Amino acid sequence: MESTPQQASLTHLSLALIHAFSQKSIESDEEKITVNRLVSEIASWYEKLRNSMELSDDSVILRNAIERILKRRLLLGGTGEKIAEPLLRELIWARYFPDNSLPERLINEVAGTIDIFLDLKHKTLEKHHISEIMVNDWILNLLSSQISLTLVPNKERQAMNNFMYHILSQGVEIEDDTEETKNVQVFLAVRRSFAKDDRAFLRYYLFLQLFPEFDRSHVGEVAAAFPKAIAEITRQLEYPLKEKILIRVKRLTPIFTILFDVLEKYHGKITPLLSQPDSFAKAVFEACDVRYTEIKARVQRTIVRSIIFLILTKVAFAFAIEGTYDVYMYGSIQMKELIINIIAPPLLMIIASFFIKTPGTENSRKILQKITQVLFEEKPRLLPVLRIRLKRQSKNPLMTTIFAVLWLATFGLSFGLILWGLDKLNFNPVSQIVFIFFITIVSFLAYRIMIIARSYTIEVTQGVLTPIVDLLFIPVVKIGMRLTDGISQINPFVLLFDFLIEAPFKTIFGFFEQLFSYLHTKREELE
């Protein structure tokens, strides 16, 4: 076991972070919301099926569920008073929270939040000629984020986000833009990498930066400035250098994730642990091992969800498009091509999963070394300073043209090989298009799973064949990413569940819960 070096003292940032983890949580004996266990059992299975149709990260599933419920209930013209309690009950039904865990006082708090944001929506539409669809989208994003953080505040995680931001902002410079813009971009990169925030959460945090005192008394002034706020937030979210900064932040995120785990495990006891280097090193290695085990489970879970996603969308596409074409052109469905098209994508996903590996002991040693730096060094040099520019420096036009042609040639080579193979199997043009459509999606999903598996890897080494694999694989992945984003937006199964199945299902759940509660009351009268 490798020991941490003896250090003089913790930095002021480290002390503030440790203090945030030293606060004791106070157990409350207030009344809690309870639901019927049978209803919850059925609803939780429904929710698992519904979530398998989307490829959202686990960290935003709760917010997505809240937004989905809000969207459905607001369509009926609901208010905070009418929506808050059913919203919380639905979340408990689906087991986002254990039964008897949410205080009943949250009903009024959530109701007030809903009314404030609905008021903001109405005042914004009154003051400005602006798209109601766009305003609805923003309000739902902001409102679902606020409610999610009300239900799961997690102050320790927020403290780690702030600590990570202050450390990593020292290592980034944008040479031709303001310090403020750089700080915002590092902040967003930290939120995306450590907290795994989606676009809705990022909108919300930037909204709070612009309007830190937003409450009922400030709705009017916020509504007046809302279009400008939307424009500024969108500008920051679409900043040209955001991905370069995110790549840097992602490389260092494992350090802060493991440190967070150690602080959380030794809640309030971290200072004595830090005074014993061997014990602290052991704690870090144990935290790494736990994360490596979790990442294996997460990879497996993501593979299963991806396969379900592929099967559901693939069967629909295959029969709706390929089957229709076969009947029209040949008088019957060409079963060989159809079966290959249905089976091949999930099978390739399973095969790809065998090549996905998680980190080992050497990676844990590197994490320990860098954790020691961020705790005890005022300006830890985790990596060389990232210096970037908005305006690209002039490059050799000839080389730029050559690289562009080569990049296009890789697309032709990759898809040319696929089409050649399909032609040998006698696939008709439509079958070929359907196959390519889904093989690109499989490639992107496999790449995404590989990235998940590397979530805690500090240094990624390239193999001898990596450049060749990239040459053939990256063009397919790029197309798959675009298509997957499109399917996520227009997935017919998601639309079917959200608007034709979920509403009546949840109504039935609510009816039976009230019925069971009524029967329970009658039984108590007999005692």
Q: What tokens were used for 440?
A: 């690109």
What's the structural domain count of the chain? 2
Is 110 found in the same domain as 218? yes
Cβ atoms of residues 155 and 267 within 8 Å: no
Q: What is the pLDDT along the chain (527 residues), one digit of tens a residue?
A: 444 444 448 899 999 999 888 876 666 678 888 877 766 677 667 666 666 555 556 668 899 889 988 988 888 777 899 999 989 988 988 888 888 889 999 999 999 999 999 999 999 999 999 999 999 999 999 999 999 999 998 889 999 999 999 999 999 999 989 999 999 999 999 999 999 999 999 999 999 999 998 999 999 999 999 999 999 999 999 999 999 999 999 999 999 999 999 999 998 788 888 888 899 999 999 999 999 888 888 777 777 777 777 676 666 666 677 667 777 777 766 777 767 777 777 777 777 777 777 788 899 999 999 999 999 998 898 989 999 998 876 566 777 788 778 778 887 888 888 888 888 888 878 777 877 877 787 778 778 777 877 888 887 665 555 666 666 677 777 777 777 665 555 455 555 555 556 666 666 656 655 655 555 555 555 55
Provide the angle, in degrees to the nearest 10, between the axes of the packed helices 242-265 and 155-168: 130
Predicted local confidence at residue 358, as pLDDT:
77
Residue 131 lies in a domain: yes
Q: Are 86 and 193 members of one domain?
A: yes
| DSSP 8-state code for residue 217 | G
In a domain, 80, yes or no: yes
Are 210 and 232 within 8 A, CB to CB?
A: yes
Cα 342 to the center of its chain, rounded Å: 28
The position carrying tokens 């320990």 is 368
Cα separation values, 379 from 11, 166, 356, 492, Å: 9, 10, 35, 51
Please tell me what DSSP assigns to residue 501.
I
Which residues lie across from 174 on neighbouring strands?
388
For residue 174, the surrounding DSSP H or E stretch is strand 172-174
- b/e map 187-221, b = 16+ CB within 10 Å: bbbbbbbbbebbebbbbbbbbeeebeebeeeebee
| Same-domain status, 150 and 295 | no
The residue length of the chain stands at 527
Helices then strands, each counted (H, E), the chain: 21, 2
pLDDT computed for residue 194 by the predictor: 94
Helix (H) or strand (E) holding 470: helix 466-490
Instruction: Tell me the residue ranges of DSSP E strands in 330-457.
Output: 386-388
Pair of tokens at residue 228:
């400008």
Same domain, 213 and 346: no
Separation between Cα atoms, residue 493 and residue 487, nearest integer Å: 10
End-to-end CA distance of the chain: 63
- Please give the pLDDT value at position 49: 64
Angle separating helix axes 37-51 and 80-93, nearest 10 degrees: 90
Residues β-bridged to residue 173: 387
Asked if 458 and 395 sit in the same domain, the reply is yes
Q: Are residues 228 and 299 in the same domain?
A: no
333 and 401 housed in the same domain: yes
pLDDT at residue number 418: 83
Residue 68 maps to a domain? yes
> Is residue 45 situated within a structural domain?
yes
Interatomic CA distance for residues 321 and 335, integer angstroms: 14
Q: Do 143 and 225 fall into the same domain? A: yes
Residue 51 is assigned to a structural domain of this protein: yes
| Distances, alpha carbon 285 to alpha carbons 14, 193, 300, 357, 459, in Å | 20, 22, 23, 18, 17
State the Cα–Cα distance between residues 489 and 376, nearest whole angstrom. Answer: 46
Return the structure tokens found at 473: 């694989």
So what's the pLDDT on residue 446?
78
C-alpha distance from residue 51 to each of 63, 187, 451, 484, 488 (Å): 12, 29, 21, 16, 12
Instruction: Assess whether 339 and 430 both reside in one domain.
Output: yes
Q: What are the CB-based long-range contacts (under 8 Å, 24+) for 482-489?
A: 483/437, 483/440, 483/441, 483/444, 484/55, 484/441, 484/444, 484/445, 487/313, 487/441, 488/54, 488/55
Clarify whether residues 238 and 345 are in a common domain.
no
Tell whether 188 and 329 lie within a shared domain: no
Residue 233 inside a domain? The answer is yes
Q: Reduce the DSSP state of residue 462 to 3 states and report it.
A: coil
Specify the pLDDT at position 5.
43
Residue 48 forms part of a structural domain: yes
Q: Which pLDDT value is given to residue 197?
A: 93
**Structural domain that includes position 456:** 291-359+388-492
Q: Is residue 351 part of a domain?
A: yes
Judgement on whether residues 437 and 295 belong to the same structural domain of the protein: yes
- DSSP assignment of 98-156: -TT-SBTHHHHHHHHHHHHHHHHHHHHHHHS---HHHHHHHHHHHHHHHHHHHH---HH
Under 8 Å CB-to-CB from 56, ≥6 apart: which residues?
64, 198
Predicted pLDDT at 128: 94
